[in-house]
Chain A
Amino acid sequence: MELKIALAGNPNCGKTTLFNRLTGSSQYVGNWPGVTVEKKEGRLKVEKDVIIQDLPGIYSLSPYTLEEVVTRDYLVKEKHDAIINIIDGTNIERNLYLTTQLMELNIPIVVALNMMDLVRKNGDDIDLDKLSRRLGCKVVPISALKGEGDMVLINEIKSAAMANRAKEALHVFDGSVEHAIAHIEESIESLVDKDDLRWFAVKLFERDEKVIGDLALDGSLMEHIESHIADCEKEMDDDAESIIINQRYTYIQTIAEACVTRKRPAGALSMSDRIDRIVTNRFLALPVFVIVMFMVYFVSVTTVGTVLTDWINDTLFGAWIQPAAQSALTTAGASGWLVSLVVDGVLGGLAAPISFVPQMALVFLFLSLLEDCGYMSRVAFIMDRVFRRFGLSGKSFIPFLISSGCGVPAIMACRTIENEKDRRMTMMTTTLIPCGAKLPVIAVIAGFTMGGAWWAAPLTYFAGMIMVIVSCIILKKMKMFAGEPAPFVMELPQYHVPSAKGIGIHVWERVWSFLKKAGTVLFLCCVIMWFLGSFGVQNGALGLVDTEHSFMAAIGGAIAWIFVPLGFGTWQAVASSISGFAAKEAIVSTMGVISGMGAVSGYTGSMDTAFTAFFPTTIAAVAFLLFNLFDSPCLAAITAMAKEMGSRKFFWFALGFQNLLAYCVALMVYQLGGLATATVAFGPWTVVALVMLAALVYLLFRPDPNKTQRGHVAIQGAAA
């Protein structure tokens, strides 16, 4: 017989570790609340006909967060045979709060009391028999990390699932509340399943918006129920929602007092607290934060990561594989286009995704270390104040930092941001920070326009940061990113020593899924870009041609008019920008090829004359640089974004936003900057630029339409 078991519990209670142990599936274990947003299923390692359903880590079954609604809908509708409720033994009170709610679902429950090794280490004692009696269900002591108690848990959950469902509901509330709930039960008896009666009655008592909406009770019935709630509220002098929550906690407190003996006096400092005294100390927190971030950046982006990436690109592929393939094919007598297809198209296309692997692996290694040990929550704690100002989470700092190295791991690093809107907004804006591959463009244009002034590169980073802030403020006021303010009420979990195996599995999973999904798309895109860049129609025949006759040049020429108001409406400049979609460093090499200077990677004085064909004026070159800094990132980053956004709508919106933003900024800089330096005459485009500027200022400073609404609700609520 097949059994379906649900696994439910708070965030940070070791749920994912237990899930991995039970099912043998390798999956991520983190410390950041809400990491298990997607539902995961697995079969029991020892018995394949038992299915374990991993549910999101939640604190409550309230109707407000997505994770909570997913979980409760799932539990009410799916009718599992049993629930394993995993509880952090070192934090029984808050963990049992969810238990009291799960018990109303009338599904057999077994409580897995996790972290028993830590409980023992702290010298605390939990009376398991008493706890089991008081809760009315089996309590199994386990340690998911050390693998203690797995088999006992499996046996208990199986017998609970197979036993008769009928179970005395846990009555945690006072007489008068129970009285009101009994009345509500009576009045909806015919409308809901008998097993779910108490669940619905309690939710109606709480005036749960979702349940009221789903049940669609008629007016007189609703009035009848409302009168019972109001009577009870009057008697208890509190609102229904608070009454329920207070009484759950009161009930738990009596259980905890009876069953748990603590060695440490309340409020005494644990090991974790002592670490926090330094790490989030008023004066030391920022220096510690800077050191940690510098190390992450230094190792994964500037030193080890870049060395490995360059080695894969230049040595492994550039010096070994590609020349070897070329000579092998040439000796075999392959035609020129086939050699080019294999060497530049296929192998070049393969090198692109593979070369990102070392950087990504390192970034994920650091991210999972930071998450698993508990520091990531502290990052949010320390940086919240800065990032909240423009509507982001404190954890957005990490993607922005990594993005100055490479946008691909930066987009992937957004996963640590729990709020979906914050996450999407960070993904959209993080590539506005110039990445390492944009440095050659910056160097070349800075050399061309400013004689290679040292402050040119820092200036572009600064411009990038300003663009991020401007974009976030504008986006946050849009309807699609507004929504309810994410309450920043966050647990700061205890520090843990991370498990090497868990981190290894996690890094491998991330890298592998990137190679599989982004890798295939990226590979195809690279082949297409190769085709466009190397093929064309010359002398009436389709074939391998020089860049200036390629399809890319033709496309560049065809759409060059779009860029006329930006000052660089020349096919050369446009074709170079298009090549930037394959990889941003390709912009400069394409410029070199088109201008007949061959392969170039940095600025030389001889470029000045060569690039006058590209840019009629200096300000046009600046506009070109800005456009290429802020437009949609390279294909690798775009594919990563498509995968991570998890929504077509948001993905296309992001692409549109990035390109529109880049276009507008470049246009304004060219027209207004040109006017100021007397290189561009006043014309209709100047007016357009001024209108754009006005629109930008309006979008930036207009009052938040969603905020006023929220404030209104709050005032109404306070008056009620």
Chain B
Amino acid sequence: MGTLKDVKVGDTVTVKKIEGVGPTRRRIMDMGVTKGTRVMVRKVAPLGDPMELNLRGFEMSIRKADAGLILVE
């Protein structure tokens, strides 16, 4: 188990837990990143941050710092 931050581009993982508190955590979950969700890392921005995810049929961008709060396997 690691965090979403370290997942390789093109890999699909399952969300285990979302750490952190408050608005950012809530926003991540509100967007559909919940326990058990399958998330594919589509790409990383040209400057190395943020990353683009594909989940629940849409594309989402998230900063690596925030992706580090998401435990996956």
Minimum CB–CB distance for A181 against chain B, Å: 19
Cβ of A282 and Cβ of B43 under 8 Å apart? Answer: yes
Task: Count A-B pairs with CB separation below 8 Å.
Answer: 133
**Per-residue contact bits, chain A 251-294, to B (CB 8 Å; 1 contact, 0 not):** 00000000000000011000001001000111101100000000
- Compute how far the CA of A490 lies from the CA of B44 in the bound complex, rounded to whole angstroms: 14
Among B12, B26, B49: residue with most chain A CB under 10 A = B26
Q: Which residue of B lies closest to A249 (CB)?
A: B34
Minimum CB–CB distance for B13 against chain A, Å: 13
User: Does A593 sit within 8 A of B, measured CB to CB?
Assistant: no
**Per-residue contact bits, chain B 38-61, to A (CB 8 Å; 1 contact, 0 not):** 001011111111101010111111
Minimum CB–CB distance for B41 against chain A, Å: 12
A48-56, A58-66, A666-674 - interface stretch: A58-66
- Compute how far the CA of A388 lies from the CA of B63 in the bound complex, rounded to whole angstroms: 10
Main secondary structure of the interface of B (DSSP, over half): mixed
- Compute how far the CA of A388 lies from the CA of B61 in the bound complex, rounded to whole angstroms: 14
User: Does A150 sit within 8 A of B, measured CB to CB?
Assistant: no
User: Does A542 sit within 8 A of B, measured CB to CB?
Assistant: no
| Known contacts A242-B29, A276-B59, A491-B60; is-contact A282 B22 (Cβ 8 Å) | no
Total contacting residues, chain B, CB less than 8 A: 40
Q: Which residue of A lies closest to B40 (CB)?
A: A267
User: Does B32 sit within 8 A of A, measured CB to CB?
Assistant: yes
Cβ of B28 and Cβ of A487 under 8 Å apart? Answer: yes
Which residues of A, 483-541, contact B by the 8 Å Cβ criterion? 484-485, 487-493
Cβ of B61 and Cβ of A492 under 8 Å apart? Answer: yes
Kindly identify which residue among B24, B50, B57, B60 contacts A384, using a CB–CB cutoff of 8 Å.
B50
List of B residues within 8 angstroms of A94 by Cβ: 31-32, 56-58
Q: Which residue of A lies closest to B56 (CB)?
A: A93
A155-163, A572-580, A710-718 - interface stretch: A710-718
List of B residues within 8 angstroms of A386 by Cβ: 47
Cβ of A59 and Cβ of B30 under 8 Å apart? Answer: yes
Interface residues of B (CB under 8 A from A): 12, 18-24, 26-32, 34-37, 40, 42-50, 52, 54, 56-63, 66
Interface residues of A (CB under 8 A from B): 59-60, 62, 64-65, 90-94, 97, 238, 241-242, 245-246, 249, 266-267, 273, 276, 280-283, 285-286, 377, 380-382, 384-386, 388, 484-485, 487-493, 713-714, 717-718
- Sample 27 A-B pairs with CB under 8 A, ordered by A number: A59-B31, A62-B27, A64-B27, A93-B57, A94-B58, A97-B32, A241-B29, A242-B18, A242-B29, A242-B35, A245-B29, A280-B46, A280-B52, A282-B46, A283-B46, A380-B61, A381-B45, A384-B45, A385-B50, A484-B23, A485-B24, A487-B28, A488-B66, A489-B61, A491-B31, A714-B20, A717-B21
